């Protein structure tokens, strides 16, 4: 980071009017070191204080000073911003990192806001995942809020984010806090805030915060941070909060189990049950008198997160008997040792699960991210297989469905279950959901990205975003829920299997009814964050005149707001053939993302072979679009 220039002045040699002079880098360093020493004095954690002292000691060593000062500048470049995603960042000491001092001030600011927003004692439920320091951050939150006069209930163990989101509404809490960094790297942690109860009483009750609530809470946090003593001056109780029992987890499981509708579940519940063999890697033991199809074989993985055991219960409670978890990734491990990034969307994250699926002849792979609010689905598609090159699960045709494909499947499934209501998706998700809603006589809503917006849709029946997030039970969980979504997918796959069909066949049916909507992405990661606004400015100044040969007919700058949506940083390009590209900076990563969609008309009587050819052609169009947009963004 470059050294800033101070507004200092000095008298000229002739004693005349003082003029500006450049800042002294050594003095800048001294001021930075003084800030670090002040932070140490106000810190609440011995290990964090020792870490900063060690970093300060390196500034006194000539051969270490440069890198130590650069690290200090980054850590003290400003407070970790509290916004509509709460807090998220790398764990280390300093105001621009996730640590106990930052969490204490955040909890104090939240407590101050809540006590001003409700007449009597606010009620807050706190949850946490299994990442490093998550339990400490949850305990600090409970201690600070209790001292502020808040009634606090803490989840009994490291549990999935959807359990916390469920608890906010189930317990009629005024707020919820979830300590998690979701699918971020192992070095990160985060702090999600939900509002409900008496604070938010409209369709957003129990959802994550949006403006103006985020700004109001951030203002209180800033006030606490600026007070003498900072975090060390914040009162913390030593007890007085309630640690919930397992009943809250069981209540969540019962709610998810209620999504299993016997009227739509073809299998006769009184038929002989299919019992897995003692070794789940061997063939399933089928009773001699059973004549139906074999049970759906599902491979699951939680990617070392907190959802593995809960997903196992969800599927077992719904009667699935042949579920095989990836044992190496089943139990929580904050180091995430078998994956580079614990994100199902990342290349290689599902390799173990797909390999097991190929070995065991599975029907379906279901993966959750570490806090289990996202759900990835993989299927075997023989058309994608190849005999060329190394034999792998991918060569056998195993592939992950896109978030838009799963959204279409669950959206169609939801539309068939209701006669009224709204289907909603984020603006960067496929437009196929709007066609599905139209086809079923339902309303459709487009929102900004994030479930803090999607879940606020009035009369919501189903909502999704392309980044593997699905809300299938908005009455109970006003957020994405990778566990209830997994159950819906499994039930759908089972019904299809019992009629000799697959999820791929269901996608073909949707294409015949609505057209083929094919989506893809181009994502550019930036080490220099200043290049992100530069790339967006380049696009706004000279948007492409064509998209894959079709003239661009509309360019919409989302910073002005459009179709009732609040302003956001993004650009929408639409071509004459309905090809669409949306470009926006990522809200959680240093990336610019391009969301690509091409639409292919499909005849109602199109064969599977016709659709296969159409998908190949659409994929080639998407690949050309990726190259065009890379040029348009100056990448």
Average pLDDT, the chain: 89
* Whether 9 is catalytic: no
- Nearest Cα neighbor of 581 from 612, 616, 627 is 627
The verdict on residue 16 lying in a domain is no
Residues 46 and 164 in one domain: no
- Domain that includes residue 147, residue range: 79-245
Residue 16 binned pLDDT confidence (cut-offs 50, 70, 90) = very low
CATH label of the domain that carries residue 604 = 3.30.310.50
Number of structural domains the chain divides into: 4
3-state secondary structure 483-530: HHHHHHHHHHHHHHHHCCCCHHHHHHHHHHHHCEEEEEEEEEECCCCC
Half-sphere exposure of 405 (CA within 13 A, CB side): 20
Residues 116 and 227 in one domain: yes
The tens digit of pLDDT for each residue in 211-222 reads 999 999 999 999
Task: Give the β-pairing of 298-301 and 516-525.
Answer: unpaired
Catalytic position from the list 2, 54, 116, 182 = 182
Residues facing 153 on adjacent strands: 125, 242
Distances (CA, A) of 202 to 6, 82, 177, 367: 48, 23, 19, 33
pLDDT at 67: 95
The verdict on residue 129 lying in a domain is yes
pLDDT at 590: 78
The verdict on residue 286 lying in a domain is no
pLDDT at 534: 86
pLDDT at 21: 45
Residue where a domain stops, chosen among 60, 77, 94: 77
Q: Is residue 83 within 8 Å of residue 218, measured between CB atoms? A: yes
Strand order from edge to edge, sheet including 323-325: 323-325, 298-301, 364-368, 375-380, 398-400
Whether 290 shows a pLDDT value over 80: the answer reads no
The verdict on residue 8 lying in a domain is no
The Cα–Cα gap between 158 and 137 comes to 12
The tens digit of pLDDT for each residue in 465-493 reads 999 999 999 999 999 999 999 999 999 99
Residue where a domain stops, chosen among 35, 56, 77: 77
pLDDT at 26: 52
The verdict on residue 6 lying in a domain is no
Residue 292 binned pLDDT confidence (cut-offs 50, 70, 90) = low
The Cα–Cα gap between 433 and 195 comes to 28
Residues 581 and 550 in one domain: yes
Lowest mean pLDDT among 160-174, 522-536, 621-635: 522-536
Q: Please, what is the angle between helix 403-416 and helix 503-514, to 10°?
A: 80
Residues 65 and 85 in one domain: no
Residues 310 and 450 in one domain: yes
The tens digit of pLDDT for each residue in 32-67 reads 999 999 999 999 999 999 999 999 999 999 999 999
pLDDT at 388: 59
Across residues 595-603, what is the average pLDDT? 97
Residues 87 and 141 in one domain: yes
Whether 198 shows a pLDDT value over 60: the answer reads yes
Q: What is the DSSP string of 387-402?
A: SSSS--TTTTTEEEPP
Report the chain's C-alpha Rg in angstroms. Answer: 26
Residues 37 and 180 in one domain: no
The Cα–Cα gap between 209 and 477 comes to 14
The tens digit of pLDDT for each residue in 93-146 reads 999 999 999 999 999 999 999 999 999 999 999 999 999 999 999 999 999 999
CATH label of the domain that carries residue 465 = 3.40.120.10
pLDDT at 529: 78
The tens digit of pLDDT for each residue in 256-275 reads 999 985 443 333 322 223 33
pLDDT at 345: 92
Q: Is 571 helix (H, G, I), strand (E, B) or coil?
A: strand
Q: Which residue has the higher pLDDT, 389 or 200?
A: 200
Whole-model pTM: value is: 0.90
The verdict on residue 271 lying in a domain is no
pLDDT at 279: 40
Q: In what helix (H) or strand (E) does residue 353 lie, and over which residues does it extend?
A: helix 351-360
Residue 5 binned pLDDT confidence (cut-offs 50, 70, 90) = very low
pLDDT at 269: 27
Residues 452 and 550 in one domain: no
Whether 589 shows a pLDDT value over 50: the answer reads yes
The tens digit of pLDDT for each residue in 180-192 reads 999 999 999 999 9
Residues 306 and 448 in one domain: yes
The verdict on residue 293 lying in a domain is no
Query: From the CB of residue 276, how many other CB atoms can be counted at a distance below 10 Å?
Result: 17
pLDDT at 272: 29
Residue where a domain stops, chosen among 510, 533, 552: 510
The tens digit of pLDDT for each residue in 199-257 reads 999 999 999 999 999 999 999 999 999 999 999 999 999 999 999 999 999 999 999 99
The tens digit of pLDDT for each residue in 138-178 reads 999 999 999 999 999 999 999 999 999 999 999 999 999 99
Per-residue buried b or exposed e for 348-372, using 16+ beta carbons within 10 Å of the residue's own CB: ebbebbbbbbbebebbbbbbbbbbb
Helix, strand and coil in the chain, % to nearest 5: 40, 20, 45
The Cα–Cα gap between 83 and 441 comes to 37
Residues 238 and 180 in one domain: yes
Instruction: Name the most confidently modeled range: 79-88, 336-345, 583-592.
Output: 336-345
The verdict on residue 140 lying in a domain is yes
Residue 538 binned pLDDT confidence (cut-offs 50, 70, 90) = confident
Residues 133 and 223 in one domain: yes
Distances (CA, A) of 430 to 18, 402, 463, 520: 61, 11, 12, 10
Whether 287 shows a pLDDT value over 80: the answer reads no
Residue 10 binned pLDDT confidence (cut-offs 50, 70, 90) = very low
Residues 422 and 306 in one domain: yes
Residue 449 binned pLDDT confidence (cut-offs 50, 70, 90) = very high
């Amino acid at each position: 980071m470059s050294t800033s220039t101070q507004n200092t002045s000095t008298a000229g040699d002739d004693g005349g009017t003082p003029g500006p002079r450049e800042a002294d880098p050594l003095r800048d360093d001294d001021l930075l070191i003084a800030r670090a020493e002040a932070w140490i004095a106000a810190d609440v954690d011995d290990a964090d204080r020792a870490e900063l002292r060690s970093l300060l000691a390196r500034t006194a060593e000539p051969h270490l000073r440069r890198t130590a000062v650069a690290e200090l500048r980054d850590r003290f470049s400003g407070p970790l911003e509290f916004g509509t995603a709460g807090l998220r960042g790398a764990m280390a000491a300093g105001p621009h990192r996730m640590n106990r001092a930052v969490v204490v001030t955040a909890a104090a600011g939240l407590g101050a806001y809540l006590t001003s927003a409700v007449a009597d004692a606010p009620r807050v439920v706190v949850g946490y995942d299994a990442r490093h320091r998550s339990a400490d951050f949850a305990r600090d939150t409970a201690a600070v809020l209790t001292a502020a006069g808040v009634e606090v209930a803490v989840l009994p163990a490291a549990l999935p984010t959807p359990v916390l989101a469920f608890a906010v509404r189930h317990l009629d809490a005024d707020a919820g806090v979830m300590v998690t960094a979701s699918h971020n790297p192992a070095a990160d942690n985060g702090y999600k805030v939900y509002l409900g109860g008496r604070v938010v009483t409209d369709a957003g009750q129990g959802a994550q915060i949006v403006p103006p609530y985020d700004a109001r809470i951030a203002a209180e946090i800033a006030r606490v941070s600026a007070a003498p003593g900072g975090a060390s001056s914040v009162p913390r109780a030593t007890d007085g909060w309630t640690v919930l029992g397992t009943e809250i987890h069981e209540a969540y499981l019962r709610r998810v189990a209620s999504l299993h509708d016997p009227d739509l579940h073809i299998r006769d519940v009184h038929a002989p049950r299919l019992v897995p063999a003692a070794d789940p890697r061997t063939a399933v033991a089928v009773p001699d008198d059973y004549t139906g199809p074999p049970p759906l074989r599902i491979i699951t993985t939680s990617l070392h997160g907190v959802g593995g055991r809960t997903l196992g219960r969800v599927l077992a409670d719904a009667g699935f008997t042949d579920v095989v978890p990836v044992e190496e990734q089943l139990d929580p491990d904050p180091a995430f040792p078998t994956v580079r990034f614990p994100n199902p969307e990342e290349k290689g994250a599902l390799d173990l699960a797909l390999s097991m699926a190929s070995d065991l002849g599975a029907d379906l792979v279901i993966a959750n991210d570490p806090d289990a609010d996202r759900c990835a689905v993989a299927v075997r598609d023989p058309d994608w297989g190849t005999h060329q090159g190394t034999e792998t699960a991918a060569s056998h045709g195993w592939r992950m469905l896109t978030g838009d494909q799963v959204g279409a499947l669950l959206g169609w499934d939801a539309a068939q279950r209701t006669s009224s209501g709204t289907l909603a998706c984020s603006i960067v998700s496929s437009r196929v959901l709007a066609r599905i809603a139209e086809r079923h006589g339902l309303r459709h809503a487009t929102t900004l990205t994030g479930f803090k917006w999607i879940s606020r849709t009035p009369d919501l029946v189903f909502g999704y975003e392309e980044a593997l997030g699905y809300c299938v039970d908005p009455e109970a969980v006003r957020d994405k829920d990778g566990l209830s979504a997994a159950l819906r997918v499994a039930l759908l796959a089972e019904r299809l299997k019992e009629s000799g069909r697959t999820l791929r066949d269901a996608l073909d049916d949707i294409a015949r009814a609505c057209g083929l909507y094919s989506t893809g992405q181009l994502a550019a990661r930036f080490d220099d964050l200043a290049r992100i606004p530069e790339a967006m400015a380049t696009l706004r100044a000279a948007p492409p005149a064509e998209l894959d040969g079709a003239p661009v007919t509309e360019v919409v700058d989302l910073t002005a707001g459009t179709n009732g949506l609040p302003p956001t940083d993004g650009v929408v390009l639409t071509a004459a053939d309905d090809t669409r590209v949306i470009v926006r900076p990522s809200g959680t990563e240093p990336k610019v993302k391009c969301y690509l969609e091409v639409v292919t008309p499909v005849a109602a009587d199109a064969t599977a072979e016709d659709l296969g050819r159409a998908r190949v052609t659409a994929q080639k169009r998407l690949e050309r679009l990726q190259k065009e947009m890379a040029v348009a963004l100056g990448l």
